[in-house]
């Protein structure tokens, strides 16, 4: 829902959902492993940015069973030092 300032307004977190062509979680896992970053390290880097992420959530995001919030998406891209396009790469 947009408010008068054309900003998203909701009590729920805005989330980004996978589709049939783009699996964000699989891309996160691939990039993380390519850069030899352990899950706990990625979580630490994301948390340092003030964004909530835990082991259980990261595991579910990478497996494609949990949606990722926009804040998590941005923080993960920054932590992995990759572009949004890298995370949105098609299968």
Q: With 70 as the cut, is the pLDDT of residue 12 above it?
A: no
Give the per-residue pLDDT at 13: 61
- Res. 6 pLDDT band, cuts 50 70 90: very low
pLDDT-wise least confident of 7-11, 29-33, 62-66, 68-72: 7-11
Instruction: Output the average pLDDT for the chain.
Output: 88
Distant-in-sequence contacts of 31-39, Cβ < 8 A, 24+ apart? 31/80, 31/82, 31/86, 31/87, 32/80, 35/80, 35/81, 37/79, 37/80
- CA-to-CA dists, residue 52 to 39, 68, 81, angstroms: 14, 11, 18
What average pLDDT does this structure show over 60-85?
A: 97
Instruction: Encode pLDDT of 26-62 as tens digits.
Output: 999 999 999 999 999 999 999 999 999 999 999 999 9
């Amino acid at each position: 829902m947009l408010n008068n300032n054309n900003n998203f307004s909701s009590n729920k977190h805005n989330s980004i959902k996978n589709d049939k062509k783009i699996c964000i979680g699989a891309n996160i896992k691939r990039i993380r492993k390519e850069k030899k970053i352990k899950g706990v390290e990625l979580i630490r880097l994301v948390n340092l940015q003030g964004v909530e992420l835990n082991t259980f959530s990261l595991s579910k995001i990478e497996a494609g069973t949990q949606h990722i919030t926009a804040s998590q998406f941005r923080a993960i891209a920054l932590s992995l030092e990759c572009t949004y396009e890298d995370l949105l790469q098609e299968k």
